[in-house]
Copies of this chain bind each other. A is one copy, B any other.
C-alpha cells in the first residue's frame, strides 16, 4: 500500500473530526500531502466514517488523478489541491460544515477576534471569501473554490490565519499536517460559537486590542513562544 503512514494519519484525522462533533453524516473531509512525492491522501466521497479504512483513503497526484484505489476522492479534492499549491507550508486540510462556523460563512461575516482564545490561534479575523461568479460556479466549481480562498489570502499569511469561511458554504482549515488541520477546524467552530454568544450579550462588542491579540498569538507561535513544553 502506497503512503501507508500518510493514509493512516489522514484516516485518524478524519475520525478525529467526527469525534470532535464538527461533522454530521458524511459532511466534511480531511486530506494530507506528501510534499516529497507530490501526492495527496484524502477521504473517499460519500463513504460513512464508521466504515472507513486506511485502504480506502484515496491517493491522487496534484492534478487530481487517482493513483491508487478504485474509490472516487471527496468531491472537494480540487479545493484542497489549490490550497496545497498556493500555501507551500501546509501539510493538511480539513473541511467541515460545523454548526456555528457554517453559520458565519452563511452570514458572510468574518469572525472578529473577540478574545484571547481566538488570538491564540489566529493573527486576525477569520476571513470570508467573496462570492463566486456564475461562471466560476458553472465551470470547475471546486477548483474555483480553492482559487477564491487563495485570492482571499493575497495579503494574508496562511500560517498565521489557518482557516477561512467560504461564503455561503462552510469553513476550510489547514495546518502542518492533517491532525493540526482538524485541530484548527475544531477551534474555528469553538470561536464561532463564542463569537455568536458575545454578540448576543453585547451587539456592540469590540475586537480585542491589537497589543493583546499580538501578545497571545506570539505567546504560542514563533521564536518567542513560551506556551506548552519545550520541543525536542
Contacts and interface: CB of A to CB of B under 8 A. Distances in A.
Contact of A75 (B109, B198, B201, B226): B226
A72 interface: yes
A191 to B, nearest CB: 9
A227 to B, nearest CB: 5
A166 to B, nearest CB: 9
B168 A227 contact: no
Interface in A6-32: 24-25, 27
A107 B198 CA distance: 5
A200 B199 contact: yes
Nearest to A103: B197
Interface string A174-208: 00000000010011001001111111111001101
Contacts of A226: 72, 75
Contacts of A115: 102, 105-106, 168-170
Interface string A44-55: 111100000000
Interface in A58-90: 71-72, 75
A34 interface: no
For this complex, into which size category does the number of interface residues on chain A fall? 35 or more
24 contacts: A25-B183, A25-B186, A44-B229, A45-B227, A45-B229, A72-B226, A99-B193, A103-B195, A104-B201, A105-B115, A106-B195, A107-B198, A108-B206, A115-B168, A115-B169, A115-B170, A132-B212, A137-B212, A138-B211, A141-B215, A168-B208, A196-B197, A196-B200, A196-B201
Interface of A: 24-25, 27, 44-47, 71-72, 75, 97, 99-100, 102-109, 114-117, 131-132, 134, 137-138, 141, 168-170, 183, 186-187, 190, 193-202, 205-206, 208-209, 211-212, 215, 219, 226-230
